[in-house]
Chain A
Amino acid sequence: MIPAAFEYHAPKSLEEALRLLSRHGNEAKILAGGHSLLPLMKLRLAAPRCVIDIGRIQALRYIREENGRIAIGALTTHTEVLESPLLRAKCPLLPQTAWEIGDVQVRNRGTVGWSLAHADPAADYPAAVLALDAELVAASVHGTRTLRAMEFFVDMLTAALLPGEILTEVRVPILPPRTGTAYRKLHQPASGYALVGAAACLTLGPGGIVERVAVGLTGVGPKAYRAVAVEKALAGKKASEKLLTGAARHAVPEHVEPLSDLQASAEYRTAMAVVFVRRALESALARAQGKPR
């Protein structure tokens, strides 16, 4: 468990970090909490020539309300998300998701930015940011650009960040009234990551009609995705247990190739995606109806 030699930089500002990144290009890796990168380096599965530790850039660590949205700095830890009164009140899906990540130590160290930038197919946040239709802000020496969650996850371990870009911020909506959210997860028994993780965000309209619904799934395929077919089966219909159960059956569309590994076959993953989507929807619905769950 001994990494290869590397050059280490600890920039104090984002600008400095971006300059370093553009100077070192492909040879460099960003280090945030290090919980994903360091294990890879210690096993020498990753051997970047240069490590840019952005951990000290305090300016990337915040949760604040801005222009009708909540902006979260990329260096915010899972614990900070979990404990944020602002998020708990106005966008509880993120704290609900953070709660399911790893253990106390992992939550104290791991950052929101990674979870997204690393695009681990079993990470939890991707499901939530998809269900929230979040915006992700990437910065480089050339400026910043904003991506939608739907276009952010490209493939296993591959996010839509360009070389030289750092993910700086995640923006999530302030949820309207009569909205319920839930994250339900089947843990991989060894690592604690998601074998299947389903995030649901559901808003009820007059007469108990599903006005808006979004479902994000992680763990099932090579990348997290929106379960669009599930959403279609629900939208505009009167919410009921039967409706949710039927809709959940569309959790794994044709184009998703379910992963298969030691811990779960593709068949089991697919079946569990259906179960956990339904459970997430049921909890979200109950919360939207104001029932405690």
Chain B
Amino acid sequence: MATATRYMGRPLKRKEDPRLIQGLSHYVDDLRLPDMHYVVFVRSPHAHARIRSMDTSRAQTAPGVLAVLTGQDLGNAVGVIPCAAQLPEMKLALRPPLATERVLFVGEPVALVVAVDRYAARDAAELVEVEYEPLTPIVDPEKALARGAPVLHPQYSDNVAYRWELEGGDVGAAFQKADKVVRQKMVNQRLIPVALEPRAVVANYKPGENKLTVWSTTQIPHLLRTQIAAALGVPEYIVHVIAPEVGGGFGSKLNVYAEEVLVAHLAMRLGKPVKWTESRRENFQATIHGRDQIATMELAVKRDGTLLGLRCHILADLGAYYQLLTPLIPTLTGLMICGCYKIPAVRVEITGAFTNKMATDAYRGAGRPEATYFIERAIDMVAAELKKDPAEIRRKNFPKPKEFPYATPTGLIYDSANYPKSLDMALKKSGYRRLRAQQAKLRRQGRYLGIGLSTYVEICAMGPSSAMPAGGWESATVRIEPTGKVNILTGASPHGQGQETSFAQIAADLLGLEPDDIHVVHGDTAIVPYGIGTFGSRATAVGGTAVYTALVKIRDKLATIAGHILQEDPQRLVFRDKKIFLKSNPAKSVAFAEAVGAAYIAKALPAGMEPGLEATHFFEPSNFTFPFGAHVAVVEVDPETGEVHLQRYVAVDDCGNVINPLLVDGQVHGGIVQALGQAFLEEAVYDENGQLITGELTDYAIPRAWDVPRLETARTVTPSPVNPLGVKGVGEAGTIGATPALVNAVVDALAPFGVRHLDMPTKRERIWQLIRKFKPTGSRPATKRVGDGRGRRGRRKR
């Protein structure tokens, strides 16, 4: 049976878009149930304090109030917030859903108010009186580890959450043999995920049916269901979780939050439907944060640029408590620290620290952007140190294409790659040589162009269950209705990635149908078999493969039925144009719908065949996949103001076989823009008292359309051997590859001013200071001005 690829590989427009752009889709906050009540949380304004007393009496009697609850009132009714990650000798730091004795970060909930509407709830929340005794806040992770620092969790003797080590090869020898050692401390700053749709939860309990329905904007409906059942101590079968339209997550909704569990509890406790919608302020304070690692990188190199060894120490600021995967994320950085280079000897040490901040957790890239940033910055420093072109240092240290599958000293097996090919394509497409010539010319005129490279590899398609905290497989059910229309139920829970389209493309090709004949269902635990969810760029490689394999099962069954009808060998049948026909004689055919009907009418099925047409597959991958690529960023720095203007961006990505190039481009574009946010703009700032002073979008800068030039994307295709589709995953690659390319470009632009490294975000004032303070040994570079002050709007067209 051959599979035609009529739809796979084509840039089909997304099936989900018409409803989204017409406002016909439904998010959690759109849900209105009769007699619905609203929750407002009372949150700590202190980073670290003991709760002396709480008085809810005035709030209790406020108009419209149904209930006011504190942690004391909850007692043991709701369990702690779960953490799925397990590391050796890790200290546990699990959070009660409402703080009772102490608060450990600004925004930690201490009480909640349920009332007839949001206004009444908000008014009453102001009447909850909490008396705090402030304690010394621990904000800086380095100080948190210092001897004598106050301890966050009194049951422990210090603020070290865990230490994790990894060693491969003879590191000592490598550093002894080295001609040069390049060392740099780098900060990968704390970021705040800003999904367009903030978190929201609605819960409704029907005592007669003993059914608890929870609508939540989540990436993991099934895992959430299990955890809600566990936290509330109810059988899992009474809990039904629905993730309707989800307006972005980026990892921030790959979690189980106190608010989700509490709202579910309230619906049962009060017997009313209950809703909570996060404000942007709460989103900033109490939804997980990302990154926040301080790394000290050391690379041992030979004079010719050959890498011999790597040492890296990472201090990860985990925040006050664990969320679902908090301690795990930095270890992904450790595993990927070698990037796409052959480094024979590696040693990584990670220290996780507790501080009075919100927990960090998985944020687009989760551990890999950090690894890629550290190694890609370090490689540029090697090039600068040895006065070699950064492209050449990279090429010199790539494993050859024939060396794949390639085993890293950190214990991973990279599945497939051709690194030189993607680098060559990126250099060619960007006109790298010409850019360097232009850079030299402009420098003489006092203008500062920077060209930044990054060649990256990342680990995704999470992943084999053996390496995952909660299962690495994914489920799919293909159910063909008697009329011949196809339902695909996927355990992956897409929220913007476009799997309704790409899975329909796979199914259309396998079954010889049109994408419109296929309906993809997700995000509802009562309909879809247990699944893991969408994160770690896994939905296509793992979820899509589950779909593919279930489709193959169904197609085999249909072929057997059609063969029986046509009296032909099923192996010689082809599915195309809504027909099943003999390859050698297309006239000998049966309509797809007729074969389907036969399975349901079941009067003339082959002997022993089950009626019906439904197949389920749980796909367990044998390995992760390792997408890779090469990016080139071109920036110009205004030496008078320190402003950075991104002029061009070229991205060559390899995510294996491509099912829909439009979706891949969309993921790459979004990823690059998010990287631009980290490289140039974003930074969650807690002041010395642990107050989050970038508490709103007025102070936390995210990228705008006018920050982004037209992105130039291209692809190489190296299929993955890990799954039959040959796909790798592309949801995070843009973010992973682009952050270092952008910063490398800025540092490259500032090279004439003696700048070797600059931490993110590359703020204007900092650049301005570096230029101003530069004391040249020779003549001072010219700082003739570039712009006319039109700044970032210069590009804006009307």
Range class of the B interface residue count: 35 or more
CA distance A293 to B789 in the complex (A): 12
Give A177-193 as 1s and 0s: 1 = Cβ < 8 Å from B's Cβ atoms: 00000001111011110
Task: Give per-residue flags for B700-728: 1 if the beta carbon is below 8 A from chain A beta carbons, else 0.
Answer: 11101000000000000000000000000
Report if A105 contacts B (CB, 8 A).
no
Residue from the list A1, A262, A264, A275 in contact with B279, Cβ < 8 A = A1
Tell me the bound Cα distance from A202 to B370 in angstroms: 51
- Pick from B72-80, B116-124, B545-553 the stretch touching chain A: B116-124
On chain B, the residues within 8 Å of A279 by CB distance are 787-789
B697 at the interface (CB under 8 A from A): yes
A185 and B701 contact, CB distance less than 8 A? no
Residues of chain B in range 9-62 having any CB-CB distance to chain A below 8 Å: 40
Is B698 an interface residue, CB under 8 A from the partner?
A: yes
What 1/0 flags go to A7-46 for Cβ under 8 Å of B?
0000000000000000000000000000000000001100
Chain A residue with the shortest CB-CB distance to B282: A1
- Give the size of the chain A interface in residues (CB under 8 angstroms): 31
A262 touches B694 (CB 8 A): yes
CB distance from B730 to the nearest CB of A (A): 28
Chain A nearest CB, measured from B166 CB (Å): 37
Give the chain B neighbours of A100 by CB distance below 8 A.
793
Between-chain CB contacts (< 8 Å), 14 pairs: A1-B280, A5-B123, A184-B789, A187-B793, A189-B681, A189-B764, A190-B681, A190-B700, A191-B697, A263-B699, A268-B765, A271-B768, A279-B789, A282-B788
Verify B704–A103 contact, CB threshold 8 A. Answer: yes
CB distance from A143 to the nearest CB of B (A): 38
Contacts A263-B699, A268-B768 given; does A2 touch B122 at CB 8 Å: yes
Q: Is B526 an interface residue (CB 8 A)?
A: no
Q: Does B693 sit at the interface, judged by CB under 8 A? A: yes
Query: How far is it, in angstroms, between the C-alpha of A268 and the C-alpha of B766 when the chains are bound?
Result: 10
B792 close to chain A: CB less than 8 A: yes
What distance in Å separates the Cβ of A1 from its nearest Cβ neighbour in chain B?
A: 4
Q: Which residues does chain A contribute within 8 Å of B788, judged by CB atoms? A: 184, 279, 282-283, 293
Partner of B123, one of A4, A99, A103, A263: A4
SS class, residues of chain A in contact with chain B: loop
* Residue B227, interface by CB 8 Å: no
Contact B641 A186 (CB under 8 A): yes
A272: chain B residues at CB < 8 Å are 641
A108 within 8 A of B: no
Chain A positions within 8 Å of B764 at CB level: 189, 268
Q: Is B640 in the interface zone, CB < 8 Å from A? A: yes
Docked CA distance A103–B119 (Å): 30
Partner-B contacts on A (CB < 8 A): 1-2, 4-5, 43-44, 99-100, 103, 184-187, 189-192, 262-265, 268, 271-272, 275-276, 279-280, 282-283, 293
A139 to B793, CA, bound (A): 37
- Nearest-neighbour CB distance to chain A for B504, whole angstroms, equals 35
> Do the beta carbons of B281 and A2 come within 8 Å of each other?
no
Are B765 and A2 in contact, CB atoms less than 8 angstroms apart? no
Contact assessment for A262 and B701 in the assembled complex, using a CB-CB cutoff below 8 Å: no
Chain B residues near A190 (CB, 8 Å)?
A: 681, 694, 697-702
Report if B67 contacts A (CB, 8 A): no
- Could you tell me the distance between the alpha carbons of A184 and B785 in the complex, rounded to whole angstroms? 15
CB <8 Å contact, A262 and B768: no
Asked if A280 contacts B698 (CB within 8 A), the reply is no
Q: Closest A-chain residue to B707, C-beta based?
A: A189
List the B side residues contacting A262 at CB < 8 Å: 685, 693-694, 699
User: Min CB distance, A253 to chain B, in Å?
Assistant: 21
Query: Nearest Cβ in chain B — how far from A97, in angstroms?
Result: 12
Most B CB contacts (10 A, CB to CB) among A44, A271, A293 go to A271
Given contact pairs A279-B788, A283-B789, A293-B788, enumerate 10 new A-B contacts (beta carbons under 8 Å): A2-B40, A2-B119, A5-B119, A185-B789, A190-B697, A190-B698, A191-B697, A191-B699, A264-B765, A275-B640
Name A1's closest neighbour in chain B (CB-CB). B279
Give 9 closest A-B pairs by Cβ, nearest first: A279-B789, A190-B701, A184-B789, A189-B701, A2-B122, A1-B279, A191-B698, A268-B765, A2-B118
Interfacial chain A residues near B754, Cβ < 8 Å: none
B471 close to A (CB within 8 Å):
no
CA distance A271 to B702 in the complex (A): 25
The CA of A99 and the CA of B791, in the complex, are separated in Å by 13
